[in-house]
Chains A and B, each alone.
Chain A
Amino acid sequence: DAKTTQPPSMDCAEGRAANLPCNHSTISGNEYVYWYRQIHSQGPQYIIHGLKNNETNEMASLIITEDRKSSTLILPHATLRDTAVYYCIVRVGTASKLTFGTGTRLQVTL
Chain B
Amino acid sequence: DAGITQSPRHKVTETGTPVTLRCHQTENHRYMYWYRQDPGHGLRLIHYSYGVKDTDKGEVSDGYSVSRSKTEDFLLTLESATSSQTSVYFCAISETERNEQFFGPGTRLTVL
Contact = CB atoms under 8 A, between A and B. Distances in A.
Interface stretch (A11-19, A20-28, A40-48, A68-76): A40-48
Contact of B106 (A43, A95, A98): A43
Interface string B23-67: 000000001010100001111110010100000001100000000
Interface in B78-112: 88, 90, 92, 94, 97-98, 100-106
Interface residues of B, number: 27
What interface size band does chain A fall in? Answer: 20 to 34
Interface residue SS majority, chain B: strand
Contacts of A96: 31, 33, 48, 50, 94, 97
A42 B90 CA distance: 9
Contacts, number: 50
B97 A43 contact: no
Interface residue SS majority, chain A: loop
Interface of A: 34, 41-46, 49, 87, 93-103
The 9 closest A-B CB pairs, nearest first, are A43-B103, A100-B42, A100-B43, A46-B100, A96-B97, A44-B103, A102-B42, A43-B90, A101-B42
B101 A41 contact: no
Nearest to B6: A43
A100 B105 CA distance: 17
